[in-house]
């Protein structure tokens, strides 16, 4: 098979509740993933020399073993005794270390692509086995769905049937926010106990967006703001522009708000781009 060109989408979390800390150092969570149409492009092509070669247009993306896509390739090579290598070309559009899971998406896309490119015929259970070893967000991107419930570390995935499509405005300041730091500053006693993702899912299914917006939750927000207090100003700016219930995606620093339409999002983006370089209007994919 010749090379493959694949889309690697981003995600936002409309709901992220931290339940407790696990014995392995991770946290048990409940989250609602939404796949959005901000995508990287990934081109995969086998090489005969056996090397994993990653090329990317973004200077901060690692091209060696720290890259999650690299890890995906190495695991498959080892377990299936594959002597071929692969060239991975990433056209990076998803901001790096922003809470949008671009690296995790790239890894999942690479797993899916190599399964085809190398004719491995791996089923969903085996692909999930590898995805969970790579990272907590990776399994979600193996599913061809717009919405999914994430539990455990976020790696136990249940597809959710929601037909509603949302518009969002995303603002990503040029600040790197690492998950381990955000989770390290988490104060579990501050989280509300009565948040229920099922209420949010119910309102999204009914397309009752006014009620859905009231159910958005991210238990990591306090920790994110403590690490970088100026991020709160971005959230307040979005609210002033009438973005609905602006909040952080995952462990940040991406700040997003729901908008009533693409037109409203683009109007906000014109204003925000005067100050921020990374502003996107996105829709549920």
Q: What is the pLDDT of residues 150-183, one digit of tens each?
A: 999 999 999 999 999 999 999 999 887 878 888 8
Secondary structure tally for the chain: helices H, strands E:
9, 11
**Candidates 17, 71, 92, 137; catalytic one:** 137
- The rounded distance, in Å, linking the Cα atoms of 184 and 261 is 37
Domain of 142, in residue numbers:
4-159
Q: Residues for the chain: how many in total? A: 285
* Pick from 44-53, 101-110, 177-186, 233-242: least confident: 177-186
pLDDT band at 195 (very low <50, low <70, confident <90, very high): confident
Q: Are residues 155 and 172 in the same domain?
A: no
Q: Are residues 85 and 212 in the same domain?
A: no
Q: How many domains, in total, are found in the chain?
A: 2
pLDDT digit string, tens, across residues 23-34: 988 899 999 999
Indicate if the pLDDT at residue 190 is higher than 70. Answer: no
What residues does 53 pair with on adjacent strands? 87
Half-sphere exposure of 21 (CA within 13 A, CB side): 10
Q: Are residues 146 and 11 in the same domain?
A: yes
Instruction: Specify burial of residue 109 (Cβ count, 10 A radius: 0-12, 13-18, 19+).
Output: buried
* Residue 159 among the catalytic residues: no
**Candidates 11, 17, 71, 92; catalytic one:** 11
Q: Are residues 254 and 113 in the same domain?
A: no
Whether pTM > 0.85 for this model: the answer is yes
| Per-residue tokens: 252 | 């940040």
Q: Are residues 152 and 171 in the same domain?
A: no
* Residue 17 among the catalytic residues: no
């Amino acid at each position: 098979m010749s090379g493959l060109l694949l889309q690697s989408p981003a995600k936002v979390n409309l709901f992220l509740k931290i339940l407790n800390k696990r014995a392995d150092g991770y946290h048990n969570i409940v989250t609602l993933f939404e796949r959005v149409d901000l995508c990287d492009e990934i081109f995969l092509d086998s090489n005969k020399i056996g090397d994993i070669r990653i090329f990317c247009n973004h200077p901060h993306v690692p091209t060696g073993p720290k890259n999650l896509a690299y890890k995906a390739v190495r695991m498959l090579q080892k377990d299936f005794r594959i002597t071929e290598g692969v060239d991975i070309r990433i056209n990076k559009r998803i901001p790096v270390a922003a809470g949008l899971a671009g690296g995790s998406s790239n890894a999942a896309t690479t797993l899916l692509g190599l399964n085809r490119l190398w004719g491995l015929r791996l089923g969903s259970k085996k692909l999930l086995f590898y995805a969970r070893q790579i990272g907590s967000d990776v399994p979600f991107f193996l599913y061809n769905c717009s919405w999914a419930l994430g539990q455990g570390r976020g790696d136990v995935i249940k597809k959710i049937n929601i037909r509603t499509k949302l518009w969002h405005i995303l603002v990503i300041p040029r600040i790197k926010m690492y998950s381990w730091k955000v989770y390290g500053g988490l104060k579990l006693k501050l989280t509300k106990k009565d948040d229920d993702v099922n209420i949010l899912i119910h309102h999204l299914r009914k397309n009752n967006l006014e009620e859905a917006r009231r159910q958005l939750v991210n238990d990591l927000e306090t920790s994110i703001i403590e690490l970088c207090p100026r991020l709160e100003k971005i959230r307040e700016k979005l609210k002033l522009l009438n973005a609905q219930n602006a909040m952080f995606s995952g462990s940040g620093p991406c700040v997003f708000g729901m908008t009533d339409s693409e037109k409203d999002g683009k109007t906000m983006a014109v204003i925000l781009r005067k100050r921020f370089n990374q502003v996107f209007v996105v829709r549920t994919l």
